[in-house]
Amino acid sequence: MTVTETQVTWLTQDAFDRLKAELDELIANRPVIAAEINARREEGDLKENGGYHAAREEQGQQEGRIRQLQELLRTAQVGTSPTSANEAAPGTVLTIRYDDDDTERVLLGSREEGSHGDLQVISPNSPLGAALLGAKAGEDREYALPDGGSMKVTLVEITPFTG
Of 131 and 100, the structure prediction assigns the larger pLDDT to 131
Asked if pLDDT for residue 3 goes beyond 60, the answer is: no
Mean pLDDT throughout 6-11? 66
Would you mind telling me the total number of residues written for the chain in this entry? Answer: 163
Mean pLDDT throughout 36-48? 78
Asked if the domains 9-78 and 92-160 are classified in one and the same CATH topology, the answer is no
CATH code given to domain 92-160? 3.10.50.30
Tens digit of pLDDT for each residue in 94-128?
Answer: 999 998 889 999 888 877 766 666 788 888 888 99
pLDDT-above-90 percentage for the chain: 21
Asked if pLDDT for residue 24 goes beyond 90, the answer is: yes
Whether the pTM exceeds 0.85: the reply is: no
Is 123 within 8 Å of 109 (Cβ atoms)? Answer: yes
Mean pLDDT throughout 25-42? 88
- Give the integer Cα–Cα distance in Å for 38 and 139: 59
Among 4, 52, 23, CA closest to 112: 23
> If you average pLDDT over every residue of the chain, what do you get?
82
List the chain domain ranges.
9-78, 92-160
Mean pLDDT throughout 16-24? 89
Of 35 and 1, the structure prediction assigns the larger pLDDT to 35
Q: Is 122 exposed, middle or buried (0-12, 13-18, 19+ CB in 10 A)?
A: buried
Asked if pLDDT for residue 2 goes beyond 50, the answer is: no
Is 98 within 8 Å of 128 (Cβ atoms)? Answer: no
Asked if pLDDT for residue 21 goes beyond 90, the answer is: yes
pLDDT of residue 8: 65
Tens digit of pLDDT for each residue in 43-80?
Answer: 777 677 778 888 888 899 999 999 988 888 888 877 66
CA atoms within 13 A on the CB side of 127: 12
**Which CATH architecture fits 9-78?**
Orthogonal Bundle (1.10)
